[in-house]
Structure 1
Amino acid sequence: MFIHSVYFWEREGLTRAERDEWLAGLRSLLTIESVRHGWLGTPAATDRPVIDRGYSYALVVAFDDEAGHDVYQDHPVHDVFRERCAKFWKKVLIYDATSLEA
């Protein structure tokens, strides 16, 4: 299993139409055939000192393996997302992880 976790910080001043376009772009990533499971959300209301709730959206995507992740990264849908939606965020952090189990 390969998990790709992406955290986006929204650029200030987006219109409703821009936010809708961005969310549609994020949802489009979950249609890529190598995605086994995908989830899109916002920060939970949990409040502890170790929790970073400063991001706007979280995208968590699971693949069978790193090869599936590579298909996702090189997919035309992903390319279109980056081209059309990069203007909507001011910061992005990505955490990739693989299973310890074989």
Structure 2
Amino acid sequence: MFIHSVYFWEREGLTAAERDEWLAGLRSLLGIETVRGGSVGTPAATDRPVIDASYSYALIVSFDDETGHDVYQEHPVHDVFRERCARFWKKVLIYDAVTIDA
């Protein structure tokens, strides 16, 4: 399985309507046909020195394989998300991983 983890830091001064638009855009990505599972979230209330909870939103998406991820990256829904929502964040950080069967 291929896991795509994206962390966004919000640009200052967003309105509630802009946040709603951003969240709708994030949720739209979960409907791309190669997505096998996914969630949109905010930092948990855990407080340990090793935790970075400075981000605003997280998008965690799983695919069968890297090919599914590549389809997602080139998908028109993903393009629309970037075009409409990139103005809402000041920083984005992505971690991609492949699972290791235990």
1:39-97: CA deviation from partner (whole Å, max 9, x where unpaired):
11000000000000000000000000000000000000000000000000000000000
* 1:53 aligned residue: 53
Between the aligned partners of 2:43 and 2:99, the Cα distance in structure 1 is: 24
Identity over aligned pairs, percent? 83
* 1:74 aligned residue: 74
Q: Does 1:38 align with 2:38?
A: yes
Between the aligned partners of 2:17 and 2:42, the Cα distance in structure 1 is: 18
Q: List gaps (5 residues or longer) in structure 1.
A: none
Instruction: Map residues 81-92 of structure 1 onto 2, 5 A cutoff.
Output: 81-92=81-92
* 2:19 aligned residue: 19
Between the aligned partners of 2:14 and 2:79, the Cα distance in structure 1 is: 22
Between the aligned partners of 1:90 and 1:50, the Cα distance in structure 2 is: 23
Output the TM-score relative to the length of structure 1. 0.98
The CA deviation at 1:99 is: 1.7
C-alpha RMSD of matched pairs (Å): 0.5
Between the aligned partners of 1:78 and 1:45, the Cα distance in structure 2 is: 29
Structure 1 moving runs of 4+ over 6 Å: none
Partner AA of 2:64 in structure 1: D
Partner AA of 1:39 in structure 2: S
Partner AA of 2:70 in structure 1: D
Output the TM-score relative to the length of structure 2. 0.98
